[in-house]
Amino acid sequence: MHSSVFKCAFHTTAAIKTQHTKGPYRYVPILIPQEQIGNNPLKALKCHRTGGRGPDGRIWNHRRAGGKFDRKFRVVDNMRTDFGGETLVEKVIYIRYDPLRSAKIAAVAGGSRKRFIVATENMKPGDIITTSCDVNEDTGVKLKEGDSRPLAVIPSNTMVHNIELQVGKGGIIARAAGSYARVSKQLVNECVLKMPSGKEIVVSNKCMACVGQVSNADHNTIDIGSPNKKRWLGIRPRSGFYVAPQDAQRNNKKNEFLKRKKFYQKSQEPEQYVRFTY
């Protein structure tokens, strides 16, 4: 198996598998052993439950503490590279739901390798995607969804996802469902990306990015519909009447502050004010 799969496993299992180091509450991610993956990188690995408890045995997350269905971890390769050769051509085998992320994942195979990648919005089984790290590639080549190229080759106003911040470190930006960024303009050795929020970031034009928008863009509009399904997702039922003591004290102080605070709005006449109170 290629080392890129191990790098992907190292980045994506940081919150799942940890190892204790010196000092309390210091945990670092460790590598997934080779025998757990074997010769099949598409193998689903067992994911241990924590029940909302941290490494000290105490409850860290009281709202998502148990009750969810059994979920398995699948290694998703966020490092789109041609492995130092010519343009890598891969075929999409199938697209499936991943319980540990909001976006869908696609199983692709090319040559002697197969792996999971983040699926795009219009990707279908049977599609052919290409990957090339050549910065001097002709910019007139037509790119389609799922193709991965350096930002220097991607035309302006193109939607991209799975963007690297450092060359060769794997995609970090725009990996959640429905996320994307647009190539705003090209500088000398850098590229300006515009996020949907309007914020602009500047990265090296040698960083890799994938063309298209991440799949499952409507995941946040799905109506849960029943408390049983919410419990199945791992969210504990709450009556709404209980408030933690520290939250109640904070709310009381905020209400008292708002009662004492007076808002003034200047009217058209310069020496006359209109007072608004709660």
- From first to last of its 278 residues, the chain has per-residue pLDDT tens of 343 333 333 333 333 444 544 444 444 444 566 666 667 788 888 877 777 777 777 777 766 666 677 788 888 989 888 877 788 899 999 999 998 899 999 999 988 889 999 999 999 999 999 999 888 877 667 889 999 999 999 999 999 999 999 888 889 999 999 999 999 988 888 899 999 988 888 999 999 999 999 999 998 888 888 888 888 877 777 666 666 665 666 666 666 666 655 444 444 444 443 333 32
What is the DSSP-derived secondary structure letter of residue 252?
H
Please list, residue by residue across 141-160, b when 16 or more beta carbons sit within 10 angstroms of its beta carbon and e when fewer do.
eebebbbbbbbbbbeeebbb
Q: What was the pLDDT predicted at 63? A: 67
Helix (H) or strand (E) run with residue 231 in it: helix 227-232
Q: Which domain holds residue 61?
A: 3-219
Give the strand pairing for 105-110 and 113-118.
antiparallel
Say if 179 falls within a structural domain.
yes
pTM listed for this prediction: 0.71
The radius of gyration of the chain from alpha carbons, rounded to an integer in Å, stands at 24
Give the span between the Cα atoms of 162 and 156, in whole angstroms: 17
18-to-78, 167, 214 alpha-carbon distances in Å? 20, 26, 28
Strand residue runs (E) in the chain: 18-20, 27-29, 45-46, 72-73, 88-96, 105-110, 113-118, 128-131, 148-150, 159-161, 163-164, 171-173, 181-186, 190-194, 200-204, 208-211, 263-266, 273-276
Please indicate, yes or no, whether residues 202 and 271 belong to a single structural domain of this protein: no
- Which position has the token pair 């945990």? 27
Please list, residue by residue across 240-274, b when 16 or more beta carbons sit within 10 angstroms of its beta carbon and e when fewer do.
eeeeeeeeeeeeeeeeeeeeeeeeeeeeeeeeeee
Domain of residue 134, CATH code: 2.40.50.140
Please indicate, yes or no, whether residues 252 and 210 belong to a single structural domain of this protein: no
Please indicate, yes or no, whether residues 185 and 277 belong to a single structural domain of this protein: no
- In single-letter form, the type of residue at position 41 comes to P
Please indicate, yes or no, whether residues 252 and 209 belong to a single structural domain of this protein: no
Say if 215 falls within a structural domain.
yes
Rounded to 5 degrees, φ, ψ at 140 are -80, -5
Q: What was the pLDDT predicted at 223? A: 84
First to last CA, the chain: 65
Count of domains in the chain? Answer: 2
Please indicate, yes or no, whether residues 72 and 165 belong to a single structural domain of this protein: yes
Please indicate, yes or no, whether residues 64 and 128 belong to a single structural domain of this protein: yes
What is the DSSP-derived secondary structure letter of residue 219?
G
Say if 252 falls within a structural domain.
yes
Please indicate, yes or no, whether residues 167 and 250 belong to a single structural domain of this protein: no
Q: What was the pLDDT predicted at 41? A: 82
Say if 238 falls within a structural domain.
no
Neighbours of 10 (CB within 10 A): 15
Strand residue runs (E) in 55-199: 72-73, 88-96, 105-110, 113-118, 128-131, 148-150, 159-161, 163-164, 171-173, 181-186, 190-194
Please indicate, yes or no, whether residues 207 and 271 belong to a single structural domain of this protein: no
220-to-103, 179, 215 alpha-carbon distances in Å? 11, 12, 12
Q: What was the pLDDT predicted at 9? A: 35
138-to-46, 50, 132, 175 alpha-carbon distances in Å? 44, 50, 12, 27
